[in-house]
Amino acid sequence: MRDTMRDAPGVGLAAPQVGFPLQLAVIEDRKEYHSKLSQTQLAERQRRPVPFHVIINPSVVLTAEPSPEFFEGCLSIGRYAAIVPRMSSVTVAFLNERAEPVRIDATGWYARILQHEIDHLHGILYTDRMFPRTFCTQDNMERLWKDLSPSAVREKLDAANRY
């Protein structure tokens, strides 16, 4: 699963995405994945490198207020993205690859990754949580929305709808 995630490249992969009906996911947000983002974008997303790890039978045990919305993509729905609301921080309990209990307090982008992957384990895709009018190809997201905040994207779409 690690090789599949890295080859994509992605920051997480859940076992059901590759045909295994297991409550297991792998997560890793490598520094080189951050190179397309400005320092401002990295700061807004609270995005920092996350070392490779395995989560087994995870459960979100505590959440905080929703964070600012951001575009998300998914290896299951390649080359598309949409704005998705997520919690700004979560506490997740799980077993690691040695079946040892672990509890993580995650914030920012790491919290988003955990929520995204745990959703997969429950049969939920980001498209189930997205703002539908923001669904677009990743190419169009890069071309049209890259330098705008998600709230500015939604405002523009709302204004276009009013015409």
| pLDDT tens digit at each of 163 positions of the chain | 999 999 999 999 999 999 999 999 999 999 999 998 999 999 999 999 999 999 999 999 878 777 779 999 999 999 999 999 999 999 999 999 999 999 999 999 999 999 999 999 999 999 999 999 999 999 999 999 988 989 899 898 888 877 6
Strands (E), the chain: 12-14, 24-29, 50-63, 70-73, 80-84, 89-95, 101-107, 136-137
pLDDT given for residue 162 in this prediction: 74
Is 30 strand, coil or helix?
coil
How much is the pLDDT for 163? 63
pTM: 0.93
pLDDT at 6: 97
Topology of domain 2-162, CATH: Peptide Deformylase (3.90.45)
**Catalytic residue of the set 28, 44, 117, 142:** 117
Question: Per the structure block, which two tokens stand in for 23?
Answer: 């409550």
Q: Is 117 a catalytic residue?
A: yes
